[in-house]
């Protein structure tokens, strides 16, 4: 008795082939690739427009589904009265749809791409504070506005509309709007890298601009040497040492919490400059790497700061390892917690000294060194910035007192043109007391880091004259 024969198709569009029932089960439909077919779509009227409906396989949440989007072709007018009049427009649009060879799982919404692809990537490759900032931007400003938008359909017009609406509804500053734009740019850049977007298309965020009507926001403040001196006169203990370290090194808040005694090398000479190595950064209770690779280096320690650190070491039981600023459990101290809330702020408020946060010390160091005449590239090295433009644009703040002095000198020059100096030089009033002032030590620290020694020419004898420059040959 012969086995029964059944004719089946192993995949859509193939020929019917004989299959013997006794040789096993039929091939499974799942996983069998379907042949791509050329679709023509369906043209209909909708609210005064000719609209094309077509099918597209997408992947939302990792599951392949089929959606039926609509595309506007042309308004219903005298030129486009019938379906035949817009068929050519439909064929031109469907030509790109039929030629698209993208995997269905790469056709998804912005919200699905953020949850399933972008956020896991950010958690692995970015610092915890950066991940926290991205999550805040997404949940506060973008999730309810663009999570359902299809990633491949987003254009610059949509991004610009989102930025305009956020600026109008929330009244955000330009700095916050730049952060939102930077987040969107990174999301779409990673989508291109993972083949969720066509690499031949421009990033839709690239040409979007910050709304011109957005406010500029409050500019970051910088502490002057006078304000720092007043702070140290009213603070004591750990609070005074933390303020002195932040003011005289320009460390970031996380780097300040991550300082270790084993990374501190005091100066060998009495008035020498010590070294403090930046090896880690602490955000909340998470210990990680410094912000950038350039930040992982040493910073100079002037004698005034060295004295404060030695006094703090003795008060802490003379430790040789572990965090310089530690709590009672031996872990990094939260300088924004009790020490700031119960000691620093009340003491400064009582003395009528303004408090602008820990980052004001970093801006203050850049501004104070600039007042002393230190070159901007040297200030960049001390603050460990990637480019000198960051130092100049965001950290060196114009001191009103210096501006008033300059304009007063300019006014005097206008009143007496013959009395105006030909080459005005910066003057710094330094004290000649036995103990060097902070200004002098900061300048010496900057010179040690960035200045280059140049050999001086030997003095001329009375019978010698200065060499004349040779005339160029004609």
> What pLDDT does 185 receive?
96
Using 50, 70 and 90 to split pLDDT, how confident is the model at 401? low
End-to-end, the C-alpha distance of the chain in Å comes to 113
Q: What is the C-alpha separation between 260 and 238, in angstroms, rounded?
A: 15
pLDDT of 427 above 60:
no
pLDDT of 405 above 90:
no
Q: What percent of the chain has pLDDT over 70?
A: 77
> What pLDDT does 432 receive?
38
User: Which has more pLDDT, 429 or 363?
Assistant: 363
User: Does residue 344 contact residue 325 with C-beta atoms inside 8 Å?
Assistant: no
DSSP code of 326? B
> What pLDDT does 417 receive?
64
pLDDT of 424 above 70:
no
Average pLDDT value for the chain? 82
E-only strand ranges, 2-48: 5-8, 17-20, 42-46
Q: What percent of the chain has pLDDT over 90?
A: 55
pLDDT of 34 above 50:
no
List the single range of 112-116, 136-140, 418-422 with lowest mean pLDDT: 418-422
Q: Look at the pTM and tell me if it is higher than 0.75.
A: no
Give the tens place of pLDDT for each residue, 142-167.
999 999 999 988 999 999 999 999 99
Using 50, 70 and 90 to split pLDDT, how confident is the model at 139? very high
pLDDT of 29 above 70:
no
Task: Give me the residue spans of the domains in the chain.
Answer: 1-35, 42-105, 110-193, 225-394
Q: What's the Cα-to-Cα distance from 35 to each of 12, 14, 22, rounded to whole Å?
A: 6, 9, 29
> What pLDDT does 226 receive?
93
pLDDT of 434 above 50:
no
> Under CATH, what is the fold of the domain 110-193?
DNA polymerase; domain 1 (1.10.150)
> What pLDDT does 100 receive?
63
Give the tens place of pLDDT for each residue, 196-246.
888 888 899 999 999 998 998 777 889 999 999 999 999 999 999 999 999
Q: Is 410 exposed, middle or buried (0-12, 13-18, 19+ CB in 10 A)?
A: exposed
For the domain bounded by 225-394, which CATH number is listed? 1.10.443.10
Section 44-62 average pLDDT: 84
């Amino acid at each position: 008795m012969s086995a029964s024969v059944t004719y089946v198709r192993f995949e859509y569009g193939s020929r019917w082939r004989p299959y013997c029932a006794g040789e096993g089960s039929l091939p499974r439909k799942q996983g069998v690739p379907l042949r791509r077919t050329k679709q023509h779509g369906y043209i209909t009227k909708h609210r005064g427009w000719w609209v094309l409906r077509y099918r597209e396989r997408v992947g939302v949440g990792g599951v392949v589904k089929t959606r039926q989007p609509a595309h506007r072709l042309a308004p219903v007018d005298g030129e486009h009265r019938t379906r035949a009049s817009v068929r050519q427009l439909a064929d031109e649009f469907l030509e790109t749809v039929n030629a698209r060879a993208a995997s269905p799982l790469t056709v998804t919404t912005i919200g699905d791409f953020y949850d399933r692809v972008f956020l896991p990537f950010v958690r692995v490759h970015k610092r915890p504070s950066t991940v926290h900032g991205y999550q805040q931007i997404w949940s506060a400003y973008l999730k309810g506005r663009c999570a359902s938008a299809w990633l491949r359909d987003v254009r610059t017009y949509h991004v610009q509309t989102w930025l305009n609406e956020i600026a109008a509804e929330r009244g955000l500053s330009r700095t916050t709007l730049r952060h939102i734009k930077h987040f969107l740019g990174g999301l779409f850049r990673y989508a291109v890298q993972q083949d969720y977007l066509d690499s031949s298309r421009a990033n839709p965020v690239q040409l979007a601009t910050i709304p011109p009507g957005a406010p500029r926001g409050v500019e970051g403040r910088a502490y002057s040497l006078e304000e720092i001196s007043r702070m140290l006169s009213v603070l004591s203990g750990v609070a005074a040492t933390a303020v002195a370290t932040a003011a005289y090194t320009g460390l970031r808040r996380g780097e300040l919490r991550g300082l270790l005694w084993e990374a501190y090398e005091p100066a060998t000479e009495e008035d020498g400059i010590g070294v403090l190595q930046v090896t880690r950064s602490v955000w909340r209770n998470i210990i990680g790497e410094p912000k950038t690779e350039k930040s992982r280096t040493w910073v100079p320690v002037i004698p005034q700061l060295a004295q404060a650190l030695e006094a703090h070491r003795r008060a802490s039981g003379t430790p040789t390892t572990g965090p310089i600023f530690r709590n009672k459990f031996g872990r990094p101290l939260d300088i924004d917690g009790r020490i700031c809330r119960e000691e620093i702020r009340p003491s400064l408020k009582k003395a009528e000294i303004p408090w602008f946060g820990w980052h004001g010390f970093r801006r203050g160091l850049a501004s104070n060194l600039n007042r002393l005449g230190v070159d901007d590239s040297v200030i960049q090295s001390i603050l460990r910035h990637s480019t000198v433009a960051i130092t100049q644009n965001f950290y060196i703040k114009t001191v009103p007192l210096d501006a008033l002095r300059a304009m007063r000198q300019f006014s005097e020059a206008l009143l007496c043109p013959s009395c105006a100096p030909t080459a005005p030089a910066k003057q710094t009033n330094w004290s000649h007391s036995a103990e060097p002032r902070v200004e002098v030590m900061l300048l010496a620290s900057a010179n040690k880091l960035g200045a280059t020694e140049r050999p001086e020419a030997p003095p001329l004898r009375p019978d010698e004259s200065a060499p004349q420059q040779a005339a160029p040959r004609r």
